[in-house]
Structure 1
Amino acid sequence: MSNWKKGPRAWVKWGLIACITVLICFLCYRIEAGGRQFDHEFDDGSRVSIGSPDQEMSQRLHKLCRVWGFAKYYHPKILKGDVNWDYELFRVLPAVIGASDEEEVNAVLYGWIHKLGTVKENESEEKGEIALEAGTDWIYDSSYLSPELSSLLINISKSGYIDKNRSYVSFDNIMVPHFTGEESYPDMNYADQGYRMLGLFRYWNMIEYYYPYKDIIGEDWDSVFLEFLPRFMEGTDELSYKMACAELTTKIHDSHAYAFDEAAALMGGVLIAPFTFTHTGENIVVDGIDADYPPGIETVLPGDIILKTDGIEIWDYIAEKSKIKSRSRDTVVLNDLPEDIFRGYADEITLTVKRDDEIFDIAVPCIERVRSESSNEPEPVSHRLLENSIGYIDPGALKAKEIFTIMEEFKDTLGIIVDLRHYPSDFIVYSLGCLIMPEQKNYVIMSRPSLTVPGRFILDKPMYVGVDNPDYYKGKVVLLMNECTQSQAEFTIMALRQAPNAVVIGSPSIGADGNVANMVFPGAVHTSMTSLGVYDTDMSQTQRVGLTPDIYVEPTIQGIREGRDELIEKAVEVILESASS
């Protein structure tokens, strides 16, 4: 009998221990993960209805956007992952919309932020020259905010909170921001005005606090919010929302920015005309026919100038296609739009072309594929020896560390041509730099986001390329570039042009340099931006400007017709002149 009694007591005891253990594990998990993922109140919809905001309501929502974004990136409680700040927006919106006047709006916002708790002030210990600050002067304006709300936000701005591991944005070891804390809401109801507004609020604040070139976008960012608010609020369907997202990304004028969605609503078609083109002067010129071009029918030819597409003047047609394509420079076409201009759903497009002095129409068939995935195109080769003992290197076809083998092969050549019209497949800034330079030289200054002050970018010390190397390559080094030279290719040119025998030939680069940060809108619309600032050694801009060649060369229509690469021809000429002098 005693054993029987002892048995149940033991089971109760062990059961209690198990329950406590499970509870402790759950609490530890919740602390580690942060509490925001346990908030599911608005999983099925925001329950927010705004209608069409008038001017007064638009200004009110702009203020809410500012306060929401400021708290999101500054307040420790949100940074710790304890609050679902998306859903808090949905909770406060009805009170903000329904407020009778601005005094009541400010009171609502004060109560909303105040309930997050007090913030301990900490002085930032980060050193370095400031390159950019977010526009947060408005938190000091007690006529725009109430004195109480202004004082509260000023206090929060001094938090200096560093731990971002569970926040909406975190950073890697080189301070590239990662917005991995953001929910993509792939099953979003596109008629839900709360979620549509969240898309605008989220992106606007990402740019406000973490875009290193906000000072040169050429747009008033507050005005952009007011411009796009009705765009986000007006539609009820998937395409109108995703088009608004895509067009918003163009306002930062950054060729690193793009917009695509997993449902392919923004693709603009699955059929593409099977030819390539280039941009020379004011002309769009066919420069190649794809191997997949259907045989046995009339075709465009290299050198044909495209005047119209389906009866629309080519530049008007390009302008329409460019509406959702962010571009660092408005004149750039070849880089940002090569596979989008002649993409659609029709089986063919009609081009009006000029060939010599004749103007006529050609019906061009369109095929279903992405040009870069064509199986009929030949594989590129990483290097080859040209006539007259000149080496040619295609950085876009390099294998890892192959550059050392190539340079050993080319060590006795008169010169090398490094074709940075192609995006490098291997990072050769330092590997090739140490082979072509006799000593170290500074080549770039970068800015990185502050860990403690959102919106602040701090300048690094100058970066150096090259090593002390008396056996450096003595031949001429020619770097080729055009508007397709972007990002790492631009960074590579900035470094390699420091070599004593280097010269850059071609046309200006795109002007989009610095590591990329990826973001997502609600509705799983993905986008990106340049996340680190890149400046020349004299602190002049490269973004939206591009790098300038030492010798300007662009293709001519005659050269395209004859199948010549005039940049390579000029490079050979420069190398031979250097060798003979």
Structure 2
Amino acid sequence: MWKRILSYLATVYLLSACGSGSETAGLPEQVEVPITTSPPVVELQSKPEITYSSSLQDDIVSFVEVAQQIRFFYPSDSVANTHWDVFIAEAIVKLSQMSKQERLAESFQILHSIAPHISLGVTIPNEPSEESRVSSWLANSSSDDSVFTRKLISGTYKSLQGDIRHAQEWFFTTHLYNEPLHIPLYLNEHESSHGSIYNGYDTYDMSHSIDETELCMSAASHIWAEIQHFWPYFSEVDVNWKPEHKEMLSACLLEDPKDTWQTIFASMNLLQDQHISIHLPRHISPSRSFEWILPFRPYIVEGKAIITRIHPDALNLVELGDELVTIDNEPIEQVIERNAQVILTSEHNAKYRSLKSLFLRRDDTQIEATLKKVDGTTYTVLFEPLPISAMAQRYTGNRLVYRYDYMHKVLDEGVHHLVLYKLSQSALSQVREQLSSAKGIVIDLRHYPEDFFAWLHALGWFSSQEISSAPIYEHWQRAPNQSSSNVQRLFQFIQPKGELIDKPIVVLASRDSISQNEHALAYIQNAGLPIMGEATAGINGNIQEQSVFSGPDNGGVTFIYTGLQVTQNDGSSLIGVGIQPDMAVPISRESIVEGTDNQLTRAVEYILQQQ
């Protein structure tokens, strides 16, 4: 066990992502299966016109769901090297040309060409003998990289099944159009080389752009399937994900592609994962076709939409601290709620992120806004959005969550401000020496750290004992639908670094503290240091990034989601909740008006009270 822990610790210090990592232990007598490909050369037909009846849509969902299960769990060279997104897009067209009665046989034949050892009906695959050499997937992810593992492994059936990260059954039964279909999870080595590799369209002349209905369906299904098979938070987030597959595929039939992806965004928001991001070609993205901006920036402060920054061209229109009440006679609460449906967010931060995104506009149509001053006086202004290039000009007012450019500064009465998110490795020795004269220290973690190794080292200054991270779990997916996951905890520690800095300390956190911030804050909690400020964003764990049809620059899509599960220190949910401060100090409307950092001010007061 300790060998695994030490191996993991060696791995994690090579990472600079979201504060988590993984490792892969070697398996006896196992080698990776070699992979080869050869694209077919064929004369392609024009794609026919397709009418998507309700029956056809249901059959497509059933077919694609099985195809994705084979994609990720059938252990063969052909599966590993097939261009699945293209394969699924063209298969949808092929199925559309069949009658309802023909689709079962055609669907099975299409899948069987790549995975010839699947079986339909009552016949199940034979179980390999203990000493036979077999191939199987070892995977805690859909792809293999420095953090995550997905490898086609060869070894004896006994040795592979003896590793609890591998499938514990030799096959999985799913359903194709309500008929049982059996997918081998182990194949004899010679069988794993069987099957055709699908490299490109073999029948129809189709594009690689998700503007095309079938490619949109393929992309939506890919996104759904990655979540279905590899997203690690279903035990914490109450969501019925399976029905969303049909919702997402059906969205591709909507006339306006922006409506399509707005619908898909709504499905993704059910997951409450603030790492989730979907990058689309600009012309179809619900959230990227912006060329204009408001001349001021409103944020949620004290539960209201408060003006926090103003463009020079609008200084005669509004004032810092004014409350935005309506836009074009629509209450701002309704505007925020409506906008939250077209952005990717979570319930925990929906209002904040929705209002933040309202700053961006799609056109320069004149806007009428009603605002309210601190004394309750209301007034109405008419204004036109500015071109997005106007963002280059300096706005009056500060960022909502103060951001400092220095790493260290001495404040009033000997209190030191350590801006941990700015700290660099090259400055560690100098900053530590400066802190030796501090009467107390405010550690600032309100923004994402710029140097992973710097904060990791610096936190060792403030504890005389080893500090553990929050619980981190990798999920080894041994069968489709996470029906047989093996969940293993990963261990990370920070060791004391030199003589303990034993002074009054408080740590600042904010609504913008996310992922690696929260990883650091969990260490801070375990070190017994108090946290002040606001609840954090509520998501941690290394991300997965996948591109479909070569990403948005080539007409496709790139999507991101969280691939490791991280909880609070006590095992309760972090996702959608965030780390709660020991002392709640929200940003105040008064501080916006006065241009002060009320959180830092309160932190200094707290330090002085401890002396």
Fold agreement, TM-score > 0.5: yes
Tell me what 1:463 maps to: 492
| TM norm structure 2 | 0.73
Q: Which residue of 2 aligns with 1:64?
A: 63
Partner of 1:475, secondary structure, is coil
Report the equivalent of 1:288: 309
Q: CA deviation at 1:336?
A: 6.4
- The one-letter code matched in structure 2 to 1:359 is T
Matched, 1:510 2:529: no
Report how far residue 79 of structure 1 moved: 6.3
Q: Deviations over 1:457-500 (max 9, x none)?
A: 6322332223275x211112211122211111111111123224
Aligned position for 2:22: none
Q: Secondary structure at the match of 2:387?
A: coil
Letter in 1 for 2:537: I
Residues 142 and 421 of structure 1, relative CA distance in 2, 3 Å threshold = closer
Asked which structure has the greater CA Rg, the reply is 1
Assess, with a 3 A threshold, how the Cα gap between structure 1 residues 405 and 449 changes in structure 2: closer, same or farther: farther
Who is 1:93 aligned against? 92
Structure 2 Cα separation of the partners of residues 372 and 458 of structure 1: 46
- Give the match for residue 51 of structure 1: 51
After superposition, residues 205-354 of structure 1 pair within 5 angstroms as: 205-235=225-255, 238-263=257-282, 265-266=284-285, 267-289=288-310, 292-294=311-313, 297-335=315-353, 338-346=356-364, 349-354=367-372
The 1:536–1:217 alpha-carbon spacing in structure 2 relative to 1, beyond 3 Å, is closer
Q: Is this contact kept in 2: 1:514–1:534, CA < 8 A?
A: yes
Structure 1 range deviating more: 457-466 or 406-415? 457-466
Task: Give yes or no for contact 2:513–2:536 (8 Å, CA) kept in 1.
Answer: yes
Listed one character per residue, the Cα deviations across residues 238-269 of structure 1 (whole Å, up to 9, x for unaligned) are 54445455444434322112233343643242
CA–CA distance in structure 2, aligned partners of residues 186 and 336 of structure 1: 37
One-letter identity of the residue aligned with 1:277: P
* Aligned counterparts of 1:250 and 1:311: Cα–Cα separation in 2: 28
The question of 1:146 aligning with 2:179 is answered yes
Cα gap change, 1:513/1:42 in structure 2, threshold over 3 Å: closer, same or farther?
A: farther
Q: Which 10-residue stretch deviates more, 56-65 or 448-457?
A: 448-457
The answer on whether the counterparts of 1:249 and 1:258 sit within 8 Å (CA) in structure 2 is no
Whole-Å separation in 1 of the counterparts to 2:254 and 2:515: 36
Q: How far off its partner does 1:270 sit?
A: 1.4
Q: Which runs of 5+ in 1 are unaligned?
A: 1-30, 162-180
Contact 1:396 1:422 in 2 (8 A): yes
Amino acid at match of 2:308: D
Q: 1:325 to 1:78 in 2, by over 3 A?
A: farther
Separation of aligned partners in 1, 2:36 and 2:215:
22
**1:514-534 Cα deviation digits (max 9, x unpaired):** 122222344323321112111
2:589 to 557, 562, 581: 557
C-alpha change, 1:281 and 1:124, in structure 2 (3 Å) is: farther
Asked whether the 8 Å contact 2:348–2:537 carries over to 1, the reply is no
Q: Is the 8 A contact 2:447 2:510 kept in 1?
A: no
Using structure 1 for the length normalisation, give the TM-score: 0.76
In 2, the alpha carbon distance for the partners of 1:211 and 1:160 equals: 29
Give the aligned partner of residue 37 of structure 2: 35
C-alpha separation between the residues in 2 aligned to 1:262 and 1:243? 14
Shift of 1:310: 2.4
Question: What's 2:519 paired with?
Answer: 491
Query: Closer, same or farther in 2 for the Cα pair 1:491/1:399, shift >3 Å?
Result: same
Following superposition, the deviation at residue 203 of structure 1 comes to: 0.9
- State the secondary structure of the residue aligned to 1:444: coil
Paired residues of 2:337 and 2:351 also in contact (CA < 8 A): no
1:73 and 2:47 aligned? no
1:143 shift after superposition: 9.4
In 1, Cα distance between the equivalents of 2:442 and 2:188? 49
Residue in structure 2 matched with residue 10 of structure 1 by the alignment: none
* Aligned-residue offset at 1:306: 1.1
For the aligned residue pairs, the C-alpha RMSD in angstroms reads 3.7
Q: Does 1:540 align with 2:538?
A: no
Alpha carbons of 1:90 and 1:42: their partners in 2 closer, same or farther (altered >3 Å)?
farther
What code does the residue aligned with 1:415 have? G
- Taking the aligned partners of 2:79 and 2:236, their CA distance within structure 1 comes to 32
Partner of 1:7: none
Post-superposition offset of 1:542: 0.7
Given that residues 48 and 194 in structure 1 are in contact (C-alpha distance below 8 angstroms), is that contact kept between their aligned partners in structure 2? no
* Alignment partners' CA distance in 2, 1:325 and 1:39: 40
Say if 1:404 and 1:432, in contact at 8 Å, map to a contact too. Answer: no
Q: Secondary structure at the match of 1:473?
A: coil
Q: 1:198 aligns with which of 218, 234, 255?
A: 218
Q: Distance in 2 between matches of 1:90 and 1:187?
A: 10
1:91/1:335 CA distance change after superposition, 3 Å = closer
SS at match of 2:409: strand
Aligned mates of 1:402, 1:497 — CA distance in 2: 25
- Structure 1 SS opposite 2:282: coil
The verdict on how the C-alpha distance between 1:311 and 1:395 changes in structure 2, with shifts beyond 3 A counting, is farther
| Partner Cα distance (1:372, 1:97) in 2 | 49
Residues 255 and 336, structure 1, Cα contact 8 Å, conserved in 2: no
- Aligned pair in 2 of structure 1 residues 40, 534: CA closer, same or farther (>3 Å)? farther
**1:178 paired residue number:** none
- 1:362 is matched with 381
Alignment size in residue pairs: 507
Kindly indicate whether the alpha-carbon contact (under 8 Å) linking 2:507 and 2:530 is maintained by their aligned counterparts in 1: yes
Contact 2:423–2:450 (CA under 8 A) maintained in structure 1: yes
**Alpha-carbon distance in structure 2 between the residues aligned to 1:375 and 1:143:** 59
CA distance change for structure 1 residues 226 and 262 in 2, over 3 Å: closer, same or farther? closer
Amino acid at match of 1:397: K
Q: Following TM superposition, by how much is the alpha carbon of 1:371 offset from its aligned partner in structure 2, in angstroms? A: 8.5
Tell me the alpha carbon deviations over residues 168-218 of structure 1, each in whole angstroms, 9 at most, x when there is no partner.
Answer: xxxxxxxxxxxxx9xxx9964556322121122111111112212234444
Matched, 1:414 2:435: no
**Bigger mean CA deviation after superposition, 376-385 or 351-360:** 376-385
Q: 1:39 to 1:209 in 2, by over 3 A?
A: farther
Instruction: Select the residue among 476, 480, 491 that pairs with 1:450.
Output: 476
CA contact 2:445–2:507 (8 Å) conserved in 1: yes
Aligned partner of 1:303: which letter? G
**Alignment map for 1:413-432 (pairs within 5 Å):** 413-427=438-452, 428-432=454-458
Summarize the Cα distance change of 1:241–1:439 in structure 2 as closer, same or farther, 3 Å threshold: same
| Aligned partners of 1:515 and 1:531 also within 8 Å | yes
- Mapped to 2, the partners of 1:480 and 1:560 lie a distance apart of 18
Q: Distance between the aligned counterparts of 1:293 and 1:260, measured in 2?
A: 32
* Cα 1:44–1:96 shift into 2, 3 Å: closer
CA shift, 1:408, in A, is 2.0
CA distance in 2, matches of 1:106, 1:404: 68
Deviation readout 1:127-163 (Å, 9 max, x if unpaired): 47x9xx9xx9x9536796434x23xx1x2x34599xx
